[in-house]
Structure 1
Amino acid sequence: MVCIPCIVIPVLLWVYKKFLEPYIYPLISPFVSRMWPRKAVQESSDKNKGNMNCKVADMNGLPTEGATEISDKKKD
């Protein structure tokens, strides 16, 4: 058996999206654009931005120095 909110909430969201949003959104969009202004994406002139120094890490994610040893867990 499905609970009432699991049926009612999706139906209300569908009704809002389908019928109410086309009338309400133009009214609230000027206020939303003032609160969250869009900022232009700026490209950096830094050529080394994509270069990262990656160090070797063991299985736990902790950095290790030198050669890593792979151990076989099945030792008889």
Structure 2
Amino acid sequence: MVCIPCIVIPVLLWVYKKFLEPYIYPLISPFVSRVWPRKAIQESSDKNKGKIDCKGADINGSPTRGPTEISDKKKD
């Protein structure tokens, strides 16, 4: 059994994003841009900071042994 908020909250968020946000966001965007400056967003989007190379790792992130190449050919 699913609780009522687990049903109602996603439905309300979907209604907001689909129908209300296109009308409300243009009205509140000038105020949001004053409160939340663009400089803070640019500082946090440093491309080299926190970048992790995932080559050679399996789905769980642990390193794999052997070749990592995936073949689509059928084996007879």
TM-score, structure 2 length as denominator? 0.51
Higher share of residues assigned helix:
2
Deviations 1:18-75 (A, max 9, x none): 000000000000000001111155xxxxxxxxxxxxxxxxxxxxxxxxxxxxxxxxxx
Task: Report which of the two structures shows the higher radius of gyration computed on alpha carbons.
Answer: 1
Unaligned ranges ≥5, structure 1? 42-76
Aligned length: 41
TM-score normalised to structure 1 length? 0.51
Aligned match of 1:5 = 5
Runs of 4+ more than 3 Å apart? none
Identity %: 93
Q: What is the aligned partner in structure 1 of residue 27 from structure 2?
A: 27
- Structure 2: stretches of 5+ with no match in the other structure: 44-76
Q: Name the Cα RMSD after superposition.
A: 1.1
